[in-house]
Amino acid sequence: MSTERTSDDAVVRLAKRSIDENPCRSIDAATLAILVGLTIGELRRILLDRQGMTPARFVLHHRLDRVREALLAGQEIAVAANAWGFVHRGRFGEAYLKQHLQLPEETVASARKNHLPE
């Protein structure tokens, strides 16, 4: 593996960790670039190359993944969404559906079904 790829992958991990450490903070491209120690252009290039998305989309995508993990672990929808900075229920539901191809309620129902004793 090349040094550039390794360092780019490290940037992606650092970006995810920075989002995790600031779940409710408004994080735009400039803020995320500062948190990972890069220019906006460098961060954008790395995220487009490694993740196929812009910094803003990366933040949203990562937060939606974290909400899904919380829902699968049994957390209530409103609690999980609020914990990850989603305050508008309708926009959250639309974004969640677009990314995970199911509504948050469907994720919860699926998690409950999979955890029922046989």
pLDDT digits (tens, 9 = 90+) for 31-50: 999 999 999 999 999 999 99
User: Mean pLDDT over residues 66-78, rounded?
Assistant: 96
- Residue 81 CA to residue 66 CA, distance in Å, equals 9
Q: What is the DSSP letter of 28?
A: -
Looking at residue 55, what is its pLDDT?
A: 98
Give the structural domain span for 32: 3-114
* Residues contacting 7, CB < 8 A, separation 6+: none
Mean pLDDT for 87-112 is 96
- The mean pLDDT value of the chain amounts to 93
Q: Please give the model's pTM, rounded to 2 decimal places.
A: 0.90
Which pLDDT belongs to residue 2?
A: 45
Alpha-carbon distances, residue 41 vs 6, 7, 54, 57 (angstroms): 19, 16, 10, 15
Q: What is the mean pLDDT of residues 53-79?
A: 97
Q: How many domains does the chain have?
A: 1
Q: Which CATH number characterizes residue 14's domain?
A: 1.10.10.60
